[in-house]
Amino acid sequence: MTEPRPAPAIAVVVPCYNEQAALPHTSARLIQLVDELVAAGLAASGSAIYFVDDGSRDRTWNVIAEIAARNPRCHGIKLSRNCGHQNALLSGLLTVPGDALISIDADLQDDVAAMKQMVAAYRAGAEIVYGVRSGRQSDSRFKRLTAEGYYRFAAAMGVRLVANHADYRLLSRRAVETLKEFKERNLFLRGLIPQLGFNSAIVYYERHERVAGESKYPLGRMLAFAFDGITSFSAVPLKLITLLGSLVAAGSFFIALWALWVRTFNAAAVPGWASTVVPLYFLGGIQLLSTGIIGQYLAKTYIETKARPRFTIDETI
Ligand code: UDP
Ligand code: MG
């Protein structure tokens, strides 16, 4: 057994978009937990909590400022506009100090208490600790089924994801420094982090309902995010449409042979429109789908080449 690492300075990073209702609860829970860790000698006394205001349109920033004024452990980072969950998270991870950075959502859906095990895993040598939901009881049937299907689909496409892990995780300073080298704009952290490699660990926890406010991921946004997760890490869809194209081409060759045979040997053949119209729609559909998929990759390349900043910090407290 090697000696455990010294108690780290923890930095909790919390992305917040219109979370004025949840923040008072969340900050209270987080402060209590970090205080406990420090008191127990598991975290260094300089441990802190950083709330990132992702261009909220409600009073989120004022609430953060009030919390920061009352508690020296709490700080705020205000982005200049809404940059999206992933970028808000990144802005915190890349700019705050600390030995072990823990990211968690602002709605207390993820069990704060799991941080204790995360820190223990870090001290035992893990550079990355994934928070994984032990069950999906708090989800609707629909969400459960689609999530399951998604993890399977992603795996088939060659995307390495940790199943049932969202953005609740601990990253060591070393992991964060490595993350800095990944300059991509199309950010899907839960696909990116496993690519860092390093010694990692998993901590299981129960996921609860949102403490207040409502989800910022309606169905459309969730689908776009899921799609991004695949196309940011895998070129398999491009290969699949090439394969589909070849199959359809080979199929139509045999249909042509069959048509010729009917034409030659069956005098009563009705000049059918079905055999004309069906492939027309079918091929049209396949072509549009394929062009769309290629277009998505092209759009990503376009966004990456512009290399615009992923977030802009307006103010910190
Ligand atoms: N969030 C953000 N920027 C956005 C959307 C969401 O920082 O543009 C934050 C939000 O405040 C929350 C976290 O991302 O802390 C996850 O969002 P939410 O809880 O709404 O997602 P869900 O849990 O419903 O998937
Ligand atoms: Mg949530």
pLDDT for 214-268, tens place per residue? 888 888 888 888 888 888 888 888 888 888 888 888 888 888 888 888 878 876 6
Q: Which residues pair with 53 in a beta bridge?
A: 16, 78
Residue to probe by mutation, ligand 1, list 17, 59, 80, 87, most atoms within 8 Å of CB: 17
The closest-lying atom of ligand 1 relative to the alpha carbon of residue 214 is 20
Class of residue 36 by CB neighbours under 10 A (exposed 0-12, middle 13-18, buried 19+): middle
| % the chain with pLDDT above 90 | 56
- Tokens 């910022």 sit on residue: 216
Residue 219 in contact with residue 142, Cβ under 8 Å?
no
Give residue 128 CA to ligand 1 midpoint distance, Å. Answer: 22
DSSP string, 76-94: EEEESS---HHHHHHHHHH
Is the pLDDT at 34 greater than 70? The verdict is: yes
User: SS3 for 59?
Assistant: coil
Return phi, psi of residue 223, to 5°: -60, -45
User: SS3 for 304?
Assistant: helix
The closest-lying atom of ligand 1 relative to the alpha carbon of residue 216 is 20
Distance CA 97, CA 50 (A): 10
